[in-house]
Structure 1
Amino acid sequence: MSDDENVAAAAAAIRRGEAVVYPTETVYGMGADATDPAAVERVFDIKGRDRSKPLSAGFPDVDAALEHVVADEREVAFMRRFLPGPVTVVVERRDTLPDVLVAGRDRVGVRVPDHELACRLFRAAETPVTATSANRSGTGSITHPEQLSDDIRDAVAVVLDGGTTPGTESTVVDPGQGIIHRRGAMADDIEAWLEADE
């Protein structure tokens, strides 16, 4: 199948409540409809992930994200500066994103990958998509589809192959509170922005 056909098949699977694997500019991610509690539960089950650890949501662009989160001027400015990119931006969620996604918290991690295939998938799915690494919890991140465990390959509907990804984790940052939760790609640039904007 062509890339277009694979993206269409993966988007259709997401709309049906199934999970898929897709590449990003960091590692491979596992995607399901982030607005559907049952689909989100499926991702937790496939990963063997503790329900107390929230998942992020992926979007094709910042404007699409802003339909599902509440962000002030500083947060929006940060998102427009660093997204798309290898950054997870923590902001207040709207009710369209269910409790199970964020472990009952009021904030959610937003991802807009700097990766054409991922963004095409998110656009075609027409819904926020879970953005979590495509590995069993506690095992190493996946940088090529060949590394996927048989369990995960069997559990997802489609694997989008984007070749080898860099493997650097995204930096997780709450720009509203000026906190970097996890240092990863672009961490120094992000730190400089947060300090300059105080």
Structure 2
Amino acid sequence: MSGQPNPSADPAVTPEIEAAIDRAAAATARGELVVYPTETVYGLGADALDPAAVERVFETKGRNRSKPLSLGVASVDAALAHTQPTDIEEACLRRFLPGPVTVIVARDESVPDALTAGRDRVGIRIPDHPIALALLSETGPLTATSANRSGTGSVRRLEDLDEGIRDRVAVAIDGGETDGVESTVVEPATGTVHRRGANADAVEAWLESER
């Protein structure tokens, strides 16, 4: 996209990683699952706009269907193609993303109920990681959820990926060890921080300044 940095130009996106991204993109286009690194933990990705693919994520994680998944995209502009944020929601998106923050905004009809557990809002995640951004630039929206079985610890190294998950994914991209701190989840419309994680103090200070 014009004016946007090219994540594939980052030194972390080696030819080997680029080939893995291409394989992962092809896999998600077929409705399959992939694992990818972010600046927080490893994520489990599938086409976020395909209800059947989203269902495979729930099955693989053993996650309760009443718990929504987030929408991973490569840029705020990409998020705006699938959401209807208010002014304060868009301001929050542009202030903290890319980064380890999940911003809950109003979704549009392109986002399936399967992803949001029927809610009219969706969490937006734009990872501040060159490999994740390069993948999302190629695939479009993917599920943004940790690559672990529900109730178990998040995965910081690919070698720690649960075998049950490894057996169900088509491609796992190795980006080395991640920081391991989960993203902060914020809902600007209500001024609520649903989960304190990375950058939580900055998010709370921004919310206070917007009152």
- TM-score, with structure 1 as normaliser: 0.98
- The residue identity in structure 1 corresponding to 2:123 is G
Residue in structure 2 matched with residue 4 of structure 1 by the alignment: 18
Q: Does 1:16 align with 2:30?
A: yes
Match of 1:34 among 48, 57, 73: 48
Match of 1:143 among 156, 171, 178: 156
Aligned counterparts of 1:26 and 1:89: Cα–Cα separation in 2 = 15
Displacement over 3 Å in runs of 4+? none
Match of 2:126 among 112, 120, 123: 112
Aligned counterparts of 1:49 and 1:16: Cα–Cα separation in 2 = 22
Q: How do residues 166-185 of structure 1 correspond to structure 2 at under 5 angstroms?
A: 166-185=179-198
Structure 1's unaligned 5+ residue stretches are none
Aligned counterparts of 1:139 and 1:12: Cα–Cα separation in 2 = 29
Q: How do residues 40-59 of structure 1 correspond to structure 2 at under 5 angstroms?
A: 40-59=54-73
Count of aligned positions: 197
Q: How do residues 61-100 of structure 1 correspond to structure 2 at under 5 angstroms?
A: 61-100=75-114
Residue in structure 2 matched with residue 25 of structure 1 by the alignment: 39
Deviation at 1:105, TM superposition (A): 0.5
Deviation at 1:27, TM superposition (A): 0.3
Residue in structure 1 matched with residue 208 of structure 2 by the alignment: 195
- The residue identity in structure 1 corresponding to 2:200 is A
User: For 2:89, what is the secondary structure of its paired residue?
Assistant: helix
- TM-score, with structure 2 as normaliser: 0.92
Deviations 1:35-90 (A, max 9, x none): 00000000000001010100001000100001001101111111111000000000
Deviations 1:118-167 (A, max 9, x none): 01001111x21000000000100000000001111110000010000000
Q: Does 1:152 align with 2:165?
A: yes
Structure 2's unaligned 5+ residue stretches are 1-14
Aligned counterparts of 1:194 and 1:153: Cα–Cα separation in 2 = 39
Match of 1:186 among 172, 181, 199: 199
Deviation at 1:110, TM superposition (A): 0.3
Deviation at 1:177, TM superposition (A): 1.3
User: For 1:172, what is the secondary structure of its paired residue?
Assistant: strand
Aligned counterparts of 1:144 and 1:96: Cα–Cα separation in 2 = 33
User: For 1:119, what is the secondary structure of its paired residue?
Assistant: helix
Aligned counterparts of 2:119 and 2:29: Cα–Cα separation in 1 = 25
